Structure 1
Amino acid sequence: MITLDEARVMVAEARAKGRALGLKPLSVCVLDAGGHLLAFEREDGASPGRFEIARGKAYGAVMTGLPGSAQKARAEEQGYFMAALNGVYDGRLVPVPGGVLVLKDGAVVGAVGVTGDTSDNDAAAAVAGIAAAGYAALA
């Protein structure tokens, strides 16, 4: 189980990675294994709609057990399937990189969603935050 303090580390370190890389303002969301919000921050200058995007990236990862990169590939190969799956989850999935699974001993314990820059840069920031909290990441 991800603690609140660990979730805060994930957020802080994802943001720090974004600043170190010179990324646009990031928004970072951490969810537990049930898709419940643990932590969220939106940097100054980030657009107000970023919460839903960050949450959607993390939610899609944790609900499907697939990181955003794998969801994107699946959407490209079987768009009808991802559209149907998104319908099952009331349109809350954002199937692109930046939704990263948090693993402990190989089990999914949550997900981090990052948005604000390119999807690949978002994923890199999420991985940095997850690693800083002592977990493995699947991007």
Structure 2
Amino acid sequence: MTLDLDTARTIVAGARRHGAEAGLKPLTVVVLDQGGHIVAVEREDGSSNARVAIGFGKANGALALGMGSRSIMARAEQQAYFVNAVTSAVGGSLVPVPGGVLVRDDAGTLLGAVGITGDTSDNDEAAAVAGIESAGLTAQVD
């Protein structure tokens, strides 16, 4: 299975629905396939101008290190030099705060990642998980 456009759109819709139901600030949702290519992006009205890059950085960092961005944040607290070096190695596209979540199928195969930004990092992560699960897929936050 691959993370195709229809699946990415389902993830975006589920994440946005969660955001609306939870009363979150305007969200930007970035969905990447397993190769780090953008499959879908939506920036809600009122979302600030750098949010696409931030969402991409959360998702891209998760793919680059094979862990959710919450775990990358914890690693940055322990190994700041390592995370800074990885950020440089991936061209600066790594944002080490919650909101970047890996997407897996039922067999555990990595399909891609979702990066969400716009509210608190914890709320961004919750929206990403909701979007992934709305597509019948598994969210990996750690």
TM-score normalized with structure 1 length: 0.98
Count of paired positions: 139
- Give the drift of 1:3: 1.2
Instruction: Return 5+ residue gaps in structure 2 as ranges.
Output: none
- Provide Cα deviations, 1:55-94, integer angstroms capped at 9, x if missing partner: 1100001111010110000000000000011111011101
Amino acid at match of 2:121: S
Q: 1:88 aligns to what?
A: 89
Secondary structure, aligned partner of 1:24: coil
Secondary structure, aligned partner of 2:122: helix
1:46 aligns with 2:47: yes
Q: Which runs of structure 2 are paired with 1:117-128 in the superposition (5 Å)?
A: 117-128=119-130
Q: Distance in 2 between matches of 1:118 and 1:108?
A: 26
Q: Which runs of structure 2 are paired with 1:95-114 in the superposition (5 Å)?
A: 95-104=96-105, 105-114=107-116
TM-score normalized with structure 2 length: 0.96
Q: 2:117 aligns to what?
A: 115
1:32 aligns with 2:33: yes
- Give the drift of 1:106: 1.2
Instruction: Return 5+ residue gaps in structure 1 as ranges.
Output: none
Q: 1:130 aligns to what?
A: 132
1:9 aligns with 2:10: yes
- Provide Cα deviations, 1:5-35, integer angstroms capped at 9, x if missing partner: 0000000110110010000000000000010
- Structure 1 stretches of 4+ with a deviation exceeding 6 A read none
Aligned-pair identity (%): 56
Amino acid at match of 2:90: Y
Q: Distance in 2 between matches of 1:47 and 1:32?
A: 24
Secondary structure, aligned partner of 2:94: coil
| Residues 61 and 67 in structure 1, CA contact (< 8 A), matched pair in contact too | yes
- Give the drift of 1:134: 1.0
RMSD: 0.6
Q: Distance in 2 between matches of 1:15 and 1:97?
A: 17
